[in-house]
């Protein structure tokens, strides 16, 4: 109910102390949750990068030996080594 209906004089404006001064909220307060999330993410990535720079590089393992397949030839033990035949002189015609 307006003041004029209650019998009070009204200037049309509220008292200056009745309305608090409007202040814009800073961005930090407005997005505090996101700021905390990205701050933690930034710190974690920075720590990971520094650890990557400082940590010794792992020594690569030596290359594996090359596998060679050798097929075993069965040996007859009863067999004696053969001697190669002596070369004969070619027949001469007289």
Q: Where are the domains of the chain?
A: 26-57
Average confidence (pLDDT) over 67-93: 69
Which comes out higher in pLDDT, residue 67 or 93? 67
Asked if residue 34 lies in contact with residue 40, where contact means CB atoms within 8 angstroms, the answer is no
pLDDT band at 78 (very low <50, low <70, confident <90, very high): low
The encoded tokens of residue 8 equal 């009070």
> What is the per-residue pLDDT for 37?
97
pLDDT above 70: percentage of residues in the chain: 70
Q: What distances in angstroms separate CA 48 from CA 3, 35, 58, one per listed residue?
A: 67, 20, 16
Q: pTM of the predicted model, to two decimals?
A: 0.41
């Amino acid at each position: 109910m307006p003041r004029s209906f209650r019998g009070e004089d009204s200037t049309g404006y509220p008292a200056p102390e009745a309305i608090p001064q409007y202040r814009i909220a800073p961005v930090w307060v407005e997005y505090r949750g996101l700021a905390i999330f990205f701050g933690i993410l930034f710190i974690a990535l920075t720590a990971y990068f520094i650890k990557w720079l400082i940590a010794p590089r792992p020594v690569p393992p030596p290359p594996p030996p090359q596998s060679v397949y050798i097929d075993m030839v069965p040996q007859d033990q009863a067999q004696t080594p053969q001697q190669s035949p002596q070369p004969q002189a070619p027949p001469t015609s007289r």
